[in-house]
Amino acid sequence: MRFRELVLSCLSWLACLTVTLGVGSLIAFLVVRGYSAIDARLFFGTTPAWDAILAIKPVWNGIWPAMAGTLSLLALTMLFVIVPGVSSGVYLACFASHREREYIGECVDVLAGIPSIVMGLFGLELIIVLRRTLFPTGTTCLLLAAFCLAILVLPTLITATRSSIEALPHHLTVTANALGMSKTQTVRHLLIPAAGSGILGGVILSMGRAMEDTAVIMLTGAVANAGLPAGLGAKFEALPFKIYYTAAQYTSQDELTRGFGTALLLLIMSWTVILTAKIFQKRMARRWQGGM
């Protein structure tokens, strides 16, 4: 009789301790080893900062090229994903019939469940097929990586947009109807602005997901040494790939320390982005909680 409660309590406390200690020690270890490495030298190596940023001189011992690669990859991914993602979410929340909602919702869920390494493999196969047919000179590159990443984070954005519109109180729609607004007017002038903060949160969240993903880019064009990204059709460096590469192939203590710095930097960036997204989503939820 008492046994079940005892087991559950023990399990809970044990789980709480294990998770906290496990993650705590990993993060503490990373901070201790990586904290001292984060400075201007980590970014630019021995090259003067402005020369590196303006691409006058190449950076050899720094992560500036990887940083620039990640930023351009993110910009490109967002360019691909924002319009389809947000508009599909809006459509699902406001216009779709019951059957469409079921069907497209199912597609979004399945797409969200596809492992990122399989998405990378898709990119690789895509470029092999393109080489055989349309672009004989094509190769894995920034554009391809951004395209595959965009497909990968599309479900995140759709779900976030859809749920922030669906979370709006129903009386908004009713009021709009009473005022004689058409459905399109309601959505455009009332629902989307009202859910704006939540949608923005979704966009930032999908950016975070795109930033941290490694499996896609390592099959679609990320390399260890490429310098600054040279164009859409060129190979590129990226922070997560740099970390992965360092863990396996580091040759000197200096390089390892840089790896720790890079990992800590990526962690901080990822935390900043995703917590910002959470704040935006929370703010919207709070605003509409009481239903005015």
Applying the rule CB under 8 A, the residues between 203 and 222 that interact with other proteins are 208, 211-215, 218-219
Q: How far apart are CA 260 and CA 38, in angstroms?
A: 9
For other proteins, which is the closer residue by CB, 44 or 241?
A: 241
Chain positions 135 to 194 lying near other proteins, rule: CB under 8 A, are 151, 154, 158, 170, 173-174, 177, 182-184
Residue 198: enclosing H or E segment and its boundaries?
A: helix 196-212
Taking CB under 8 A as the rule, does residue 240 contact other proteins?
yes
38, 45, 58, 84: residue in contact with other proteins (rule CB under 8 A) = 84
Taking CB under 8 A as the rule, does residue 13 contact other proteins?
yes
CA distances from 4 to 12, 18, 29, 76 (A): 12, 21, 37, 53
DSSP 36: G
Taking CB under 8 A as the rule, does residue 130 contact other proteins?
no
For other proteins, which is the closer residue by CB, 115 or 193?
A: 115
For other proteins, which is the closer residue by CB, 105 or 233?
A: 105
243, 258, 281, 284: residue in contact with other proteins (rule CB under 8 A) = 243
Please write down the HEC assignment for all residues of 51-68.
HHHCCCCCCCCCCHHHHH
Q: For residue 192, give the nearest of 156, 183, 223, 40 by alpha carbon.
A: 183
**Is residue 104 exposed (0-12), middle (13-18) or buried (19+ Cβ within 10 Å)?**
middle
118, 179, 224, 230: residue in contact with other proteins (rule CB under 8 A) = 118
Quote the least distance from Cβ 51 to other proteins, whole Å.
Answer: 29
Taking CB under 8 A as the rule, does residue 114 contact other proteins?
yes
For other proteins, which is the closer residue by CB, 52 or 74?
A: 74
Locate 35 and state its tokens: 């904290």
**Is residue 285 exposed (0-12), middle (13-18) or buried (19+ Cβ within 10 Å)?**
middle
Taking CB under 8 A as the rule, does residue 273 contact other proteins?
yes
